[in-house]
Amino acid sequence: MIYVQPNQVLKTNTSTCEKKNVFMSLLENRFQTYGYKEVKTPMFEPYDLYSTVDGLIQQKDMIKVIDSTGKVLVLRPDATIPLARMMAQYTEDKLKTSRYFYMMDVFRQTESKTNNYNHMQAGIECFGNASPGIDAEVLALSKHVFQDIGFPDFTLEIGHAGFIEEVLSKLSFQEMEWKQLKTYLQAKNKNDLQTFLIDKEIDNSMKEILLAIPDLYGTPESIIPKVKELSLTNQMKKAVVHLETIYQQLELYDMADHIVINFGLLNQMTYYSDIIFQGFIKGVGKPVLMGGRYDTLTEQFGMEIPAIGFACDIDLILNMWENSCPKEKNKDVVIHYDDQMKSIKNAYRLANELRRANWNVLCEHENEETSIGNNTNYIVCIQDKFIFQNKNKREIFPAIQDILKKLTQSNEI
Amino acid sequence: MLTIALAKGRTVKDAIQILREVGYEFPDFHEESRKLIFYDEQQQLKMLFVKAVDVPTYVEKGAADIGIVGKDHILEAKADVYELLDLKFGKCKISVAGLKDSHSYPMENVTVASKYPTIARQFFMRKNIPIETIKLNGSVELAPLIGLSDIIVDIVETGKTLQENNLMVLDDIAKISTRLIANKASFAIQTEVIQLFIQKIQSVLEVKQ
């Protein structure tokens, strides 16, 4: 999202917008080819919704506004939660698999980025189906999107929130210690983790698993056998088998390359219940895509509906994106006329015809000055004649039909 | 090719040494050099020579894939990176120090001077002591001597500087050593290359022990 500031050069602004539109249409198209339908949710949401539901956005990060009755609202801080709520509240009976995609701004103010309130997110949510087949389809779709936009080395890192949750549920710590433990796991900091665990009274098999987690990172072929060697609980075994199944399905989609398994993956959104994943592209230090399965979130809104989804950070990706496959762009032309009635009439007629043929036309008096790009075509209407001019050539046409024919039928311009 | 950010300062010699033992030679590198980017002989490693405090930032943002830097700077930056190895050199600790005759620090209205305001704030928050921090960039020991602060939070290697300035350690916050950190995206995209690099360093470390 670009944020128009007075000191920003408008020209770069417009070209960024154009680039973004092309980009978004690529995403939109790919989402649709997997059967997803677009939805939008309100920009303003009740503050209560986010302050009473567990595992959501930090309250201090949200942008609050007060309406005319004094009710406190927040600017939509997330797309998944309102969608999940919508599904839970407006679904009448048992839900069939429903696929939705969105392209919306989300608003958050984090410590590090205090001046950047809005983030463009594009993502999908699939409700009502908990099968590994859907998980694989969603992952395949995420890879497909990045193939489309020209990042063949897009790498998907997959973890399992249920697995970690199960390990942590066997431990009892104080809040400070939880924080420490999570920091060490997230940083794969084996050294400090080891020191931390020395004087903690934990079952040996759990200790073994905790210490193994930092190394449970790599290709599925190497990691899945490794994790199976540990003494896992039934719940953990189920999680591993689940990941294995998904991976096999991804092979069927031909999307099994650039997949890494990360058993230490933790998401700050604690509503994830099963697989969680992050996508990375070269040159961006942060994940450009995040998602996972959240089967229990909708329960907080009154009806349990299994769901999985992901969101792409559009701003991050756009920074890296070179428009490699531009959509056919309309051609630009500037038509100049003088004070003669005949000239004005011809100019207007020509402008009309060219616009109908999808040219971008600026029609103005010859004394006007408009800011335009370097490669613009000019047509000067003098009396009955049309003089065409651009960087490469200059040509005179005696009648409107001639110039129209030339411009709309030839590709050299 | 991997990009590695190396902290200038007290750990350079050890860091270069360990890279050499792994097999990366930087022929045109010497500490006085004004160059900021170096390549190893085989062109496999690109080294950015940056200020220690900036190493976590370079790595977190992905400008470097890996970094070698003291734990103190990682803690202070709260960088979201992988901390994969303890290189076991540049050992010291980060401590609270105050005037010799004070023996302990006051429990309220404490002013703390430090190069590490985040670490200081976190430490005292855990102790439920409200503090005010003053960020200094060097010669922190001076602050309590002239009444700029009550105490300081700084790294202590031998304790000599404290001694000479009539200061003493009041509390230890954390042990510090040099760590190898990695960017999370780089680790995902170039898993094998980075894991191999880590393994090589690890085996050198094991031999040393």
| B125 to chain A, closest Cα gap in Å | 11
CA distance B102 to A257: 62
Shared domain check, A339 and A313: no
Q: Please report whether residue A326 resides in a domain.
A: no
Q: How close, in Å, is residue A311 to chain B by CA atoms?
A: 17
Domain co-membership, A208 together with A97: yes
| Interfacial residues of A (vs B; Cβ cutoff 8 Å) | 153, 155, 157, 176, 186-192, 217-219, 258, 260, 262, 278, 280-287
Is B47 in the same domain as B147? no
The partner residue sitting opposite A284, judged by closest CB among B81, B185, B195, is B185
Distance, C-alpha A387 to centroid of its chain = 47
Are residues A303 and A337 part of one domain? no
User: Which DSSP letter does residue B174 get?
Assistant: E
Position A314 in a domain: yes
**The CATH number of the domain where A391 resides is what?**
3.40.50.800
- Percentage of chain A modeled with pLDDT above 90: 31
- Are B191 and A218 a contacting pair at CB < 8 A? yes
pLDDT attached to residue A11 = 45
Kindly compute the dihedral angle of the four CA atoms of residues A182, A185, A189, A192, in this order, to the nearest 10 degrees: 50
Q: Are strands B151-156 and B92-99 parallel, antiparallel or unpaired?
A: antiparallel
Verify whether the Cβ–Cβ distance B184 to A176 is below 8 Å.
no
> Which chain B positions have a beta carbon within 8 Å of A189's beta carbon?
82-84
Which of B83, B189, B195 has its CB closest to that of A280?
B189
Q: Are residues A316 and A336 in the same domain?
A: no
* Same domain membership, residue A337 and residue A306: no
CA distance B59 to chain A (A): 8
**B166 to chain A nearest CA, in Å?**
33
The reply to whether A24 falls in a domain is: yes
Using CB atoms, which residue from B84, B86, B191 is nearest to A260? Answer: B191
CA A110, A113, A115, A118: dihedral to nearest 10 degrees?
A: -70
Residue that wins the pLDDT comparison between B208 and A281: A281
Tokens of A229: 């060697």
Residue A159 within any structural domain of the chain: yes
With contacts defined as CB-CB under 8 Å, which chain B residues touch A176?
126
CA of B198, closest CA in chain A: separation in Å?
Answer: 12
CA distance A91 to chain B (A): 39
Residues B106 and B85 in one domain: no
Give the chain B residue whose CA is nearest to the CA of A260.
B188
Residues B74 and B138 in one domain: no
Contact criterion met (CB below 8 Å) for A306 and A130: yes
User: What is the C-alpha end-to-end distance of chain B, expressed in Å?
Assistant: 29
Report the CATH number that the domain containing residue A54 is assigned in CATH. 3.30.930.10
ipTM of the complex: 0.84
A3, part of any domain: no
Q: Give the model's pLDDT for residue A53.
A: 67
B127 → chain A, closest CA residue: A176
> Which parts of A are annotated binding residues?
78-80, 108, 121, 125, 271-272
Q: Flag whether pLDDT at A9 surpasses 50.
A: no
**Number of domains observed in the structure of chain B:** 2
**Residues B108, B54 within the same domain:** no
Q: Do residue A169 and residue A251 come from a single domain?
A: yes
> Domain end: A299, A320, A341, which one?
A320
Are residues B80 and B11 located together in one domain of the fold? Answer: yes
Is residue A327, in this structure, part of any structural domain at all?
no
Q: Are residues A204 and A252 in the same domain?
A: yes
**Whether residue A310 sits in one domain with residue A358:** no
Residue B46 in contact with residue B2, Cβ under 8 Å? Answer: yes
CA distance A37 to A31: 8
Interface touch A286/B62, C-beta < 8 Å: yes
Q: Same structural domain for residues B38 and B106?
A: no
Q: Which chain B residues are Cβ-neighbours of A281 within 8 angstroms? A: 185, 189
pLDDT score for A8 = 42
Tally of domains in chain A? 2
Q: Tell me what the pLDDT averaged over chain A comes to.
A: 84
Does residue B172 share a domain with residue B97? yes
Separation of alpha carbons A308 and A130, rounded Å: 8
* Percentage of chain A exceeding pLDDT 70: 89
The confidence band for A318, taking pLDDT boundaries of 50, 70 and 90, is confident
Place of tokens 């050299």: A412
What per-residue confidence (pLDDT) applies to A13? 60
Indicate the Cα dihedral angle B95, B101, B103, B105, nearest 10°.
-70
CATH code of the domain covering residue B132? 3.40.190.10
Q: Nearest by CB to A280, which of B185, B192, B195?
A: B185
> Looking at the domain assignment, is residue A352 inside a domain?
yes
Phi, psi (degrees; rounded to nearest 5) at B90:
65, 35
For residue A28, the model assigns a pLDDT of 93
Cα–Cα distance measured from residue A261 to residue A20, given in angstroms and rounded to the nearest whole number: 32
Q: How many CB pairs under 8 A join A and B?
A: 56
A195 Cβ contact list (under 8 Å, min separation 6): none
pLDDT of chain B, 209 residues: tens digit per residue: 899 999 988 888 899 999 999 989 888 888 778 888 999 888 889 999 999 999 999 999 999 999 999 999 999 998 999 999 999 999 999 999 999 887 777 777 899 999 999 999 999 998 888 899 999 998 999 999 999 999 999 999 988 999 999 999 999 999 999 999 999 999 999 999 999 999 999 999 988 77
Same domain, A68 and A116: yes
Q: Which of A188, A258, A282 to mutate to test the interface with B (most CBs of B within 10 A)?
A: A188
Q: Which residues of B touch A217 (CB under 8 A)?
A: 187, 191
Q: Which residues of B touch A258 (CB under 8 A)?
A: 189
Phi/psi at A370 (5° precision): -115, 145
Q: pLDDT tens digits for A108-167?
A: 887 766 677 888 899 999 998 888 999 999 999 999 999 888 888 899 999 999 888 888
Q: Which residues of B touch A (CB under 8 A)?
A: 59-63, 80-86, 126, 183-189, 191-192, 195
Question: Is residue A175 in some structural domain?
Answer: yes
Does the distance separating the beta carbons of A260 and B185 come in below 8 Å?
no
Q: What is the pLDDT confidence band of residue A373, given thresholds at 50, 70 and 90?
A: low
3-state SS, residue A217: strand
CA distances from residue B56 to A244, A299, A366, B12 in whole angstroms, order as listed = 35, 40, 57, 16
Answer whether B80 sits within 8 Å of A186, measured CB to CB: yes
* B49, B117: one domain: no
Domain stop point among A253, A286, A320: A320
Nearest to A155 among B80, B82, B189 (CB): B189
**A260 lies in the same domain as A390:** no
Using DSSP, state whether A402 is helix, strand or coil: helix
Query: A320, A353, A383: which is the final residue of a domain?
Result: A320
Q: Could you tell me the residue range of the domain that residue A169 belongs to?
A: 10-320
Vertex A187: Cα angle to A293 and B93 (nearest 5): 155
Residue A168: name the closest of A156, A151, A155, A181 by CA.
A181
**Which amino acid would we find at residue A72?**
V
Residues A338 and A296 in one domain: no
Question: What value does the mean pLDDT take over residues A2-31?
Answer: 70
User: Does A384 lie in the same domain as A252?
Assistant: no
Q: Are A287 and A280 in contact (CB under 8 A)?
A: yes
**Domain boundaries, position B163:** 92-176
